[in-house]
């Protein structure tokens, strides 16, 4: 395994439909607790394992830009939007590795995504291009991770420095308690106007949603 001594780049992918404060919190904690130089938010064009986005890639990209503009260390990467078609992470990591041949890459995943990794295209190859950072929230989620496959166990590290010492190939667990919100819940609340969303969405994102009448909002 090739060694290095450089700060990794964190990769946080998603539909971001819409991006919310839970995403921002995950990225902020990862940037604080891991030796990352930055985190690149990676909006997908068309997810392969989830329902299709309710808003256009143009709107989702704009909302991500607004959400992260005042956060040093956060950047946006629109390669999946530009590539169009179904967004496969293996293709994205290959592209990133081509751009950053000597910089470690860290793909940030939630427990649910990690537990369903076998549904992803060429999932066993992901580790050949990046480290996997797996976010878990509590003892129950950690116990689920402890029952992982031999494949995952063979790549597990408890040493955060390994993320800088190697270009790829490690799996690292990161404990945090993200804000208990989801994009689906937010969309439902917007449609029904059931709750103030100032604590769940960045202010500029909420303004954008209202201005562009997304998710069932109107001109009122």
Q: Where are the domains of the chain?
A: 9-180
Would you state the structure tokens that stand for residue 194, as one six-digit string? 């059931």
Rounded Cα–Cα distance for residues 77 and 103 (Å): 16
Rounded Cα–Cα distance for residues 148 and 140 (Å): 13
Rounded Cα–Cα distance for residues 91 and 86 (Å): 10
Residue 38 phi/psi, 5-degree rounding, is: -170, 170
Would you state the structure tokens that stand for residue 154, as one six-digit string? 């063979």
The model's pTM is 0.92
CATH topology (fold) of 9-180: Rossmann fold (3.40.50)
Would you state the structure tokens that stand for residue 90, as one six-digit string? 């293996």
Give yes or no for a contact between 118 and 85, defined as CB atoms under 8 angstroms apart: no
Of the candidate ranges 43-47, 79-83, 191-195, the one whose mean pLDDT is the lowest? 191-195
* Residue pLDDT, tens place only, 91-129: 999 999 999 999 999 999 988 888 888 899 999 999 999
Rounded Cα–Cα distance for residues 195 and 55 (Å): 21
Closest CA to 106 of 37, 60, 175: 37
* Residue pLDDT, tens place only, 17-29: 999 999 999 999 9
CA dist 207 to 34, 58, 113, Å? 32, 16, 30
* Residue pLDDT, tens place only, 148-204: 577 888 999 999 999 999 999 999 999 888 677 888 888 888 887 766 788 899 999
């Amino acid at each position: 395994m090739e060694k290095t001594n450089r700060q990794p780049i964190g990769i946080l992918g998603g539909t971001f439909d819409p991006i919310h404060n839970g995403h921002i919190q995950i990225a902020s904690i990862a940037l604080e607790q891991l030796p990352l130089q930055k985190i690149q938010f990676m909006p997908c064009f068309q997810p392969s394992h989830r329902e299709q986005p309710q808003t256009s890639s143009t709107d989702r990209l704009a909302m991500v830009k607004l959400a992260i503009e005042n956060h040093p260390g956060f950047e946006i990467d629109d390669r999946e939007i530009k590539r169009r078609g179904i967004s496969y992470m293996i293709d994205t990591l290959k592209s990133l590795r081509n751009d950053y041949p000597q910089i470690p890459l860290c793909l940030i995943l939630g427990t649910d995504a990690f537990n369903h990794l076998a549904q992803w295209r060429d999932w066993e190859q992901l580790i050949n291009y990046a480290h996997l950072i797996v976010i878990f929230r509590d003892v129950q989620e950690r116990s689920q991770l402890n029952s992982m496959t031999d494949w995952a166990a063979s790549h597990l590290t408890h040493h955060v420095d390994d993320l800088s010492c190697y270009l790829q190939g490690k799996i690292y667990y990161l404990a945090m308690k993200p804000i208990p919100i989801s994009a689906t819940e937010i969309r439902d609340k917007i449609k029904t106007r059931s709750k103030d969303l100032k604590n769940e969405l960045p202010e500029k994102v909420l303004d954008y949603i209202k201005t562009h009448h997304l998710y069932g909002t109107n001109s009122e």
